[in-house]
Structures are given as structure tokens and as C-alpha cells.
Chains A and B, each alone.
Chain A
Amino acid sequence: MVSSIPKDSQSVSELKEFYRQMVLIRKFEEAAAKAYSVGKIGGFLHLYIGQEAVGVGSIAALTPKDYIVSTYRDHGHALARGLNPKPLMAELFGKGTGISKGNGGSMHFFDRNAHFMGGHGIVGGHISLAAGIAFASKFKKEDSVTICFFGEGAANIGSFHEGLNLAAIWKLPVVFICENNHYAMGTPEYRALAVKDVSVRAYAYDMARDHIEGDEVRKVRDHVQVAVERARRGEGPTLIEVSTYRFRGHSMSDPAKYRTKEELEAYKKKDPLMRARQELELGGIKTEELDKMDLEIQNQIDEAYQFAETSPEPPLSQLHKYVYAEDK
């Protein structure tokens, strides 16, 4: 099953870093799920568990000047961008120390400095925002590239078509990454998509396309890299479909009864974390070393949890702040 054993020390350490990020996301979200179930986190909580290789691989193809636009399922993307888990967890807890000062919540992580351009709650609405950020890069003659994540459900909304068409006619430096986890909430793809393969829609916009499996993190990185470089050369956008799976329900309130145990078990066998771990072991990393790493990450998450729990809520005076930009 394991096809890609890291061959040299560089690719081993690269994979180790990807593994670390994926474990960080997994453990962050497991902690978030726990906090949610005891009422410390409100609202929706859409977990990314199972899809980690997509975010980590894709974002690894970027440089700090590039931009990321995410959905309501944004924890993994934010952590893969290297954002500190403390303000992220604090945001989930609705604390003033949160990455969006408690105004955003799970669906709206933002970090201007990290070019993390937000988690957005309206399905597909952010696709044209991403095109807009790419438009600005082109306008300003900066060679930044924007990547935009969305689900296959979002590929059915008008904003997707408008965003892709505009990006294509103007050759904007943007990479559209459809994380196809095969369900939009409870709707399986075959009930929502006339043509199941989202990536072929690229032909409708004369756009480059790609379609890969999302369980192998370095493969995701390599494929996204090609698209990012294409965009950076000014050759326009790419639509990439990455096939993946979410192990949990659509959000914490969804028991996911619309799919079978067998299906879930089959996908769990392709868990990207497990896969990376096996590859690392084949590349010569000892199990104990990986266990130690897992433990360190767990400690980091515990600290983030502690930080979130002990942080103060935002001051009540914040209620009316930020409705309008402060005058400079």
C-alpha cells in the first residue's frame, strides 16, 4: 500500500514536518470536540479530521506572501499556515485573545499578517473573494498567489461559476482547490453534481485542471505546487479536485447516519496520518520518536486549551467596536 518511501534525509524531514502539522490539526480538533461536548464551544463546529493531508500539502506549496482563503471548515488550514493554536483555540472559546478577538468563532478565523484571509460561512461565496485577492495581486504587480479551498457542494453555487469565469478571463493567479469529501452536509455528491468529477468543469472555463487522491500529503503538495507555479508565471488559474473524506459528521451536531460504517472504515484505512507515519517508519524514523512527537504536540494542545479556558471574554465595550473601520 505504501508507495512513497521518503528516499533521502531531506524528504524524511519534510515528511516529518508534514506529519507534525497533521497531528497538530488532529489533536487540536479532538480537543475542540471535547470542549464542544462540554459546552465550552458554541455554534457550529465543523471538523477537518480525515482531510488533514489536503490542507497541509496544499499550503506547503505556498510562500508567506501567498494568500489562503478558507471555508467554515478552517481550523486545519489555519494550523497548516502555521498559526499559533492558542489564539485559534481561544477563538473557539469566544475569548478576547482569539485570533478574531472572539467576534469570529470557529467559522471565521482571520490573520491578516499571515495572509490567512478568513474562514467564510456562506458556501461558495468566498470563491469570488479569492479571485478578488488574486485580482489585487495582479493589479499591484505582486507575484503572490491565492489558494481557495471549498467543498464539492460549493461547486454548485453561482459564485463558483462566476469566480472561475472571471479568474479565467483575467488570468488571475489563483488556485481553486475543491476538497471533495463526497458529502455536502447530508447530500452525497451523486445527488448534487450532474457530472461527478468537479475538476472537469475547468474545461468550461478553459482552465488547467488536476484531480488527485488526498491521502498522501507530499503528493498533494507536489500537485498544488505545479498549479501555484503556473499561477505565479501569469498563466492563470487551476481547478484542482482532491478526493478526501471527513471521518466525523458535517459538524458536531451531525451523527452522519447517511453513510455506512463500512464506507467509513474503508476510508479510515487510508487515514493520511497513518500513512505518513508508516512512510516515516519505512524511511527510518523510529516509532518511539514519533510517539514522542505526538506527545509533545498533545502538550502543546493542552496548553492551548488551558490558554483558551483561562483567557478573559472580550470586554463588553467591544460589542460596538469594529462595525466600522477605525479612522486612521
Chain B
Amino acid sequence: MSVDLATVRKIAGLARIAMNDAEAEALVPELNKILGMVEQLGEVDTSGVEPLAAVIPNHLRLRDDVVTHDATGGGIRDAVLKNAPQAEHGFFAVPKVIE
């Protein structure tokens, strides 16, 4: 499989990366070179092989359903908003999404 300019544009759209013509065109051969390398995997017989889910066996833990008072918990609104490019009235602000 190989990508063409239209595919690169489509992927850039999915990846939310703005790209001019020159950038998109430059990526076509680069991505094809990398895809050419990964194509090799098609020759491996993986029938009956399960895709790897966890590299080191570990069970998923559940934590108590309570508010924790650390950086993963609640009650730290100002800290959460501190690095926002734009925050207003205690919220993240973005361009208008409803006309």
C-alpha cells in the first residue's frame, strides 16, 4: 500500500495538522518509504497468534470512588487552568463554536 497526495491531505486532516502544498508533497515519499519498511510485517505468519495486550502481566486496579486531594483529584481548579492559553470565569476559553 502506498499513499498519494490526497491521502496525505486526508491524514493531515484527521491528525489536525494544517499543511501547505509543499509540506504535503514532501511527506508523500517520506511516508511511503516508512510504509515500505513496515510492509515487511505482511510476510509473518501470525495465524493463531493473539495481538499483544500487555507487555508485562499486570491487572487493572480500581480505586475507591472518592475525590483525591492531590494533582489527580478535585479542588484544584486554579492549578488546572494555570497553563491555559485563555481562561475565563474558571473555564477554558475557545473560539465560538455555536453561531
Q: Are A and B associated in one complex? A: no
Question: Which residues of A does B touch, CB under 8 Å?
Answer: none
